[in-house]
Amino acid sequence: MNVMAKAEKKISSAFIYFFGSFGGILFGYDIGVMTGALPFLQADWHLENAASLVGWITSAVMFGAIFGGALAGQLSDKFGRRKMILMSAIVFMVFSVLSGVSPDMGEASAYYLIIVRMLLGLAVGAASALVPAYMSEMAPAKARGRLSGLNQTMIVSGMLLSYIVDFLLKDLPGEWAWRLMLGLAAVPALILFLGVLRLPESPRFLLRKGEEAQARKVLSYIRKNPAEIDQELASIKETAKEEQQANQKTSWSTLFSGKYRYLVIAGVGVAAFQQFQGANAIFYYIPLIVQKATGQAASSNLMWPIVQGVILVVGSLVYMWIADKFNRRTLLMVGGAVMGLSFILPAVINWMMPNMNPMTIVVFLCIYVAFYSFTWAPLTWVLVGEIFPLAIRGRASGLASSFNWIGSWLVGLIFPIMTASMPQEAVFAIFGIICILGVVFVKICVPETRGHTLEEIEEQGTNHGRVKASNPEN
């Protein structure tokens, strides 16, 4: 015990925040790695005309993540955040390696890889839910606001890292290229596992288990002021008591009662729109998009994912700079409008000028990614973290996360099927219309949360419910 305590005392807050962020790198790496692996995998397994199988191979991770996040949330309340992050890292390592050693059995290979990637998705969903939760419980209150932006930066940095790895491996023989791309995803998982081994458990979880002395000890490693530690312990106890009372009084039906319906629809709707707007179609399929536009082999277009990755990283840094300078609704509506036009204009230009340069669509996609990176990408999770009242926060956040993963899975699944049956410009125009609908949704259904306390936001929902009840025709 003394040895463990001494080891924990050496851990700096910077170390804790780094490995909280590193979970985002792991998550982002797996989002991006299939972008480069897919062209080689298609050629090796002769899947060029198997759009549905390509869609399932790509989206299987997101399908597993739908369940991974919900399952990990429940298990972490029983076993602790730290232990579940370690378990997620192990699962991630195992199934990343199994993806890389997929047997060559003809069409059966595709089904093997789909199943393995679904199981890998359990770890992806768990990590995406657990790591931010652990970080928010370890960080001081004054730093929690910046963590949303930092986590997004690390996710897109993981994506960029995977794009660079894909580019460096592209000249290997086809089979070795995609196998190493997928298998090397185990490396960031191993780093995460080794880092989290040194981390203490969350003080919030320790208090829930009645281990107040250990919770105080953990806080002493990351808080300098004893008075601050006492104040935080008291605050955690009070919040835990309120959450316990709230959970006893609420059920799933409570989410859609008059008092909460407005805020639940707003938060879940934004989370769903973020994915149905089509961002993942670009992130997963940009080499194939360029191939269809120009006729060049997808495997020779792996510089484009790096371009997208750089735009995402720069955009996430722009967001951290402007986050507290503009209203959430303003950024979402401006971003959504530009994103929608970036998808719709290529179809209009192609209709008016049939001989349009095929790279025009790629230029507009870069504009889309730029505006997505500092508006909808980070703001969705900032807003979801702010908008739900305490009484329903756990269930509502889980519902929002599930809808987000469902959207991610469906876009990854249907995009290759859609592009196999209609022009790319038409497919992106459909996503553009969804972007515009998202702007309308934010305008009508989403309250402003910047600068408001959680209590003030809850009051907006309560007042909105009263207005609806007294004016049912509205």
Full residue range of the structural domain in which residue 91 is found: 1-201
Number of domains in the chain: 2
Which among 190, 172, 137 has a CA at the least distance from the CA of 22? Answer: 190
Q: At what angle do helices 279-294 and 424-445 cross, to 10 degrees?
A: 160
pLDDT at 3: 40
Examine the domain organization and report whether 190 and 259 are in the same domain.
no
Examine the domain organization and report whether 282 and 145 are in the same domain.
no
pLDDT at 469: 43
Examine the domain organization and report whether 6 and 105 are in the same domain.
yes
Which among 427, 277, 418, 287 has a CA at the least distance from the CA of 362? Answer: 287
Examine the domain organization and report whether 370 and 459 are in the same domain.
yes
Examine the domain organization and report whether 181 and 261 are in the same domain.
no
Question: Does 244 reside within a domain?
Answer: no
Q: Which carries the bigger pLDDT value, residue 128 or residue 123?
A: 123
Question: Does 279 reside within a domain?
Answer: yes
Question: Does 127 reside within a domain?
Answer: yes
Encoded tokens for 34: 């299939």
Q: Residue 458: pLDDT band by 50, 70, 90 thresholds?
A: low
**Residue 289 burial by Cβ neighbours in a 10 Å radius (0-12, 13-18, 19+):** buried
- Work out the average pLDDT over 123-139: 77
Question: Does 381 reside within a domain?
Answer: yes
DSSP for 17-48, written as a single string: HHHHHHHHHHHHHHHHHHHHHHHHHHHHHT-T
Encoded tokens for 366: 């870069």
User: In angstroms, rounded to a whole number, what is the distance separating the alpha carbons of residues 142 and 222?
Assistant: 13
How does pLDDT run across 241-293, given as a tens digit for each residue?
766 666 666 667 777 777 788 888 999 999 999 999 999 899 888 888 888 77
Examine the domain organization and report whether 267 and 152 are in the same domain.
no
Q: Are 133 and 23 in contact (CB under 8 A)?
A: no
* Domain stop point among 176, 201, 226: 201
Alpha-helical segments (H) within 80-106: 81-100
How does pLDDT run across 330-377, given as a tens digit for each residue?
999 999 999 999 999 988 988 888 777 878 888 999 999 999 999 999
DSSP letter assigned to residue 201: P
Examine the domain organization and report whether 184 and 269 are in the same domain.
no
Question: Does 226 reside within a domain?
Answer: no
User: Helix, strand, or coil here: 257?
Assistant: coil
Examine the domain organization and report whether 450 and 372 are in the same domain.
yes
CATH of the domain at 384: 1.20.1250.20
Q: Are 396 and 255 in contact (CB under 8 A)?
A: yes
Q: Residue 473: pLDDT band by 50, 70, 90 thresholds?
A: very low
b/e per residue 328-346 (b: at least 16 CB within 10 A): bbebbbebbbbbbbbbbbb
User: Helix, strand, or coil here: 302?
Assistant: coil
pLDDT at 5 over 50: no
User: In angstroms, rounded to a whole number, what is the distance separating the alpha carbons of residues 260 and 414?
Assistant: 33
Examine the domain organization and report whether 284 and 383 are in the same domain.
yes
User: What is the pLDDT of the chain when averaged over all its residues?
Assistant: 82
User: In angstroms, rounded to a whole number, what is the distance separating the alpha carbons of residues 305 and 301?
Assistant: 8
Q: What pTM does this model have?
A: 0.81
pLDDT at 114: 94
- Work out the average pLDDT over 21-37: 83
Examine the domain organization and report whether 393 and 263 are in the same domain.
yes
Distance from CA of residue 205 to its chain's centroid? 24
How does pLDDT run across 81-95, given as a tens digit for each residue?
888 889 999 999 999
- Work out the average pLDDT over 200-211: 82
Q: Are 302 and 166 in contact (CB under 8 A)?
A: yes
- Work out the average pLDDT over 89-112: 89
Q: Are 182 and 93 in contact (CB under 8 A)?
A: no
- Work out the average pLDDT over 187-207: 87
Question: Does 246 reside within a domain?
Answer: no
pLDDT at 164 over 50: yes
User: In angstroms, rounded to a whole number, what is the distance separating the alpha carbons of residues 146 and 58?
Assistant: 32
Question: Lowest-pLDDT range, 106-110, 139-143, 350-354, 418-422?
Answer: 139-143
User: In angstroms, rounded to a whole number, what is the distance separating the alpha carbons of residues 72 and 133?
Assistant: 11
* Domain stop point among 184, 201, 218: 201
Examine the domain organization and report whether 64 and 150 are in the same domain.
yes
Question: Does 3 reside within a domain?
Answer: yes
Which of 48-52, 72-76, 292-296 has maximum average pLDDT?
A: 48-52
Examine the domain organization and report whether 17 and 164 are in the same domain.
yes
Question: Does 36 reside within a domain?
Answer: yes
pLDDT at 299: 66
Cα–Cα–Cα angle for 162, 76, 380, rounded to 5 degrees: 55
pLDDT at 2: 44
Q: How much of the chain exceeds pLDDT 90, in percent?
A: 30
Cα–Cα–Cα angle for 64, 66, 69, rounded to 5 degrees: 100
* Domain stop point among 136, 169, 201: 201
How does pLDDT run across 410-456, given as a tens digit for each residue?
999 999 999 888 888 899 999 999 999 999 999 999 988 777 666 67
